Amino acid sequence: MRKWLVSVAVILASASLSGCGYNKLQEQDEAVKASWSEVVNQYQRRADLIPNLVATVKGYAAQEERVLVEVTEARAKVGTIQVTPETLNDPEAFAKFQAAQSTLTGSLRSLIAVAENYPDLKSDANFRDLQAQLEGTENRITVARNRYIESVKAFNVTVRSFPTNVTAGMFDFDAKPNFSVQNEEQISKPPAVDFDTSTPAQQAAPVEAAPAKPAGS
């Protein structure tokens, strides 16, 4: 009899949790974590391509030190900022991650733009292969980000809707930060690449015409 009462209690508790949205919150939370793992996976794939890409460009355009250093430093910074599924509820950490990835995106575009000034580099088979892999990875990043955005949107709607918002509050389910579109238009613009490596002090000043000498001097 006691076992039967315990079983009934468990069934009633499960039904209650299901009816108040607990199971849905759990399901959507796991979906967010899974989609975030794919975002990180694609970003890591991009980071893994960068050393070979930098080395190839350097072989043809070593004088473009500024661009080479920028993309290397941006990659290093990305490596120091990790947002795990456990810290996805931290908007500040998420914003830092997004900012670092955006900086790396801009640096990579500058690096690819360098090739336009070096025909031999553009025709290099290794460079073309790396560029194709990078473009494919950028496409996969876009797909992964969109899936994450949609999964977070669904989760946040559930967290904020009645009556599941009550359950969310009881079990510490908080709305999660999402990718913003802030500065996306600016990020998508082609980078301005300056191939003039001289400093203002090195640039020649305009030469003034010497005064004419008097006749017979």
List of residues 6+ apart from 210 with CB closer than 8 A: none
Q: Is the model's pLDDT at 194 over the cut of 60? A: no
Q: Note whether residue 61 is domain-resident.
A: yes
Q: How many CB atoms neighbour CB 151 within 10 A?
A: 21
Q: Is the model's pLDDT at 122 over the cut of 50? A: yes
- Given pLDDT bands bounded at 50, 70 and 90, which one contains residue 33? very high
pLDDT recorded at residue 205: 38
pLDDT recorded at residue 19: 54
Tokens of residue 140, six digits: 């996969």
Q: Note whether residue 170 is domain-resident.
A: yes
Please choose, from the candidates 161, 184, 207, 171, the residue with its C-alpha nearest in 3D space to the C-alpha of residue 17: 171
Q: Note whether residue 110 is domain-resident.
A: yes
**101/57 Cα distance (integer angstroms):** 21
Give the model confidence (pLDDT) of 42-96 as tens digits: 999 999 999 999 999 999 999 999 999 999 999 999 999 989 988 888 999 999 9
Q: Note whether residue 215 is domain-resident.
A: no
**107/101 Cα distance (integer angstroms):** 10
Least confident stretch, 32-41, 58-67, 120-129, 199-208:
199-208
**122/113 Cα distance (integer angstroms):** 10
Q: Note whether residue 149 is domain-resident.
A: yes
Q: Note whether residue 143 is domain-resident.
A: yes
Q: Is the model's pLDDT at 155 over the cut of 70? A: yes
The CATH code of the domain that includes 147 is 1.20.1440.20
pLDDT recorded at residue 126: 95
Structural domain span for residue 132: 30-188
* Tally of domains within the chain: 1
Contact 138, 109 (CB under 8 A): no
Q: Note whether residue 21 is domain-resident.
A: no
* Best-predicted range by mean pLDDT (80-84, 104-108, 207-211): 104-108
Q: Note whether residue 207 is domain-resident.
A: no
Burial grade of 217 (CB within 10 A; 0-12, 13-18, 19 or more)? exposed
Q: Is the model's pLDDT at 117 over the cut of 80? A: yes
